[in-house]
Chain A
Amino acid sequence: MRIAVQADSFDPGAELTRFAAGHTDQGAIVSFSGLVRDVTGGLEAMQIEHYPGMTERAIEQIAFQAKTRWNLGDVLVIHRYGSLTVGEIIMMVATTAPHRTDAFEAAEYLMDYLKSRAPFWKKEVTSQSADWVAAKDEDEDALSRWDGS
């Protein structure tokens, strides 16, 4: 399991290649990468704040939950903080599993929990304004689908 919380950019392709290497009993790898997108056309920066210490712990707990719940080989989570510009990579998750269903579901679970349970906060900066991104009800709702099964 590799968890990295970092300011530096990274190459998701190279990370995936490294992550995939050396697994002879895993038939499936799923990866997701999140990028800074410009919804309104005026985004100058996406500033990401986090809670050093708690961030790593929270992600570790989420990853352990995923490993308990699905038959996974390995889990990779990289999440950046600091000031990012449009098109830059923010984060990636990847999972390996013997079979694809476990790898897909666990990757979705990791994403859902990272969005609402890992202590990151995004601020969108334009030439006119700087606004904290509000948490969405649908992000909270997304967690409920993992309850009780």
Chain B
Amino acid sequence: MKLQVMYFAWLRERIGQGSEQVETDAATVAELVAELRTREARYDLAFSDLSAVRVAIDQELTDLDASLDGAREVAFFPPMTGG
């Protein structure tokens, strides 16, 4: 499956880009993260502390255990600091 993967704030900075197309067979967000971490050191570093990472699938907040079935867009970012 082809996913649009997006990164924000320090995740974007550590990975060095805001978005990319990823071809993957990962069934869950956690599997996608594990796959990305094996690619290059910058991904491994960005995802080294998963307690500091939040995730959205198709612009809805979810968690790392979530299924990627039917997903088009997955976004990773730190805890939000709006207001």
Partners in one complex: yes
Residues of A within 8 A of B (CB): 34, 49, 51, 53-54, 57-58, 79, 90-91, 111, 114-123, 132-135, 140
Task: Given A51-B59, A51-B75, A54-B56, check contact A119 B10 (CB 8 Å).
Answer: no
Q: A51-B56, A54-B56, A57-B59 are in contact. Are A116 and B79 (CB under 8 A)?
A: yes
- Please measure, in the bound complex, the distance between the C-alpha atom of A123 and the C-alpha atom of B75, giving whole angstroms: 19
Partner of A115, one of B9, B61, B75, B81: B81
A54-B75, A121-B77, A121-B80 known; 10 other A-B pairs, CB under 8 Å? A51-B8, A57-B60, A114-B83, A115-B80, A115-B82, A120-B82, A121-B81, A132-B9, A133-B81, A140-B79
Q: CB distance B83 to A91 under 8 Å?
A: yes
Q: A49-B8, A51-B8, A132-B9 are in contact. Are A122 and B59 (CB under 8 A)?
A: no
> Which residue of B6, B56, B81 contacts A122 across the interface (Cβ within 8 Å)?
B81
Give A122 to B83 CA distance when docked, in angstroms: 10
The A contact surface, by secondary structure, is mixed
Q: Are A117 and B9 in contact (CB under 8 A)?
A: no
Contact of A116 among B9, B59, B80 (CB under 8 A): B80
B:1-30 near A, CB below 8 Å: 6, 8-10, 12
A91 to B80, CA, bound (A): 15
CA distance A121 to B53 in the complex (A): 13
User: Are B56 and A115 in contact, with the CB atoms below 8 A?
Assistant: no
Pair B78/A132 contact, Cβ less than 8 Å: yes
Question: Please, how many angstroms separate the alpha-carbon atoms of A119 and B55 in the complex?
Answer: 11
